[in-house]
Amino acid sequence: MKSVRAVRLEVWRRGATVTVALRAIGSGRVVYRATRRSERATEAAVLGAERYCVTQGWVLVMPPANDGAGEAESVA
């Protein structure tokens, strides 16, 4: 039986350049990388990464957004 492979989606910006990558969980090896300079092209690169996961049969793990929207409010 084939073992399940999981990859983590990583997106980072350096100046005007945005890099989208898929990194294998466990080994840390980058299995997909796309570098783009526009927002629209970056969105296409993320969709391309998602499609690549489907074609390879990998499980895609996406980190939560770091925008504070998912933070629980404290109730007193």
pLDDT (tens digit, 9 = 90+) per residue, 36-59? 999 999 999 999 999 999 999 999
Spatial contact of 27 and 40, defined as CB atoms under 8 Å apart = no
In-domain check, residue 11? yes
Q: Count up the domains in the chain and report the number.
A: 1
Name the pTM for this structure.
Answer: 0.72
User: Mean pLDDT of all residues in the chain?
Assistant: 83
Q: Which residue has the higher pLDDT, 61 or 3?
A: 61
Report angle CA 14, 17, 18 to the nearest 5 degrees: 85
Task: Check pLDDT > 70 for residue 76.
Answer: no
What pLDDT is attached to residue 21?
A: 94
Please report which confidence band the pLDDT of residue 4 belongs to, taking 50, 70 and 90 as the band edges.
low
What distance in Å separates the CA atoms of residue 35 and residue 33, rounded to the nearest whole number?
Answer: 7
Q: Would you call 38 helix, strand, or coil by DSSP? A: coil
In-domain check, residue 34? yes
Look up the domain containing 34 and give its range: 6-61
Residue type, 55: T
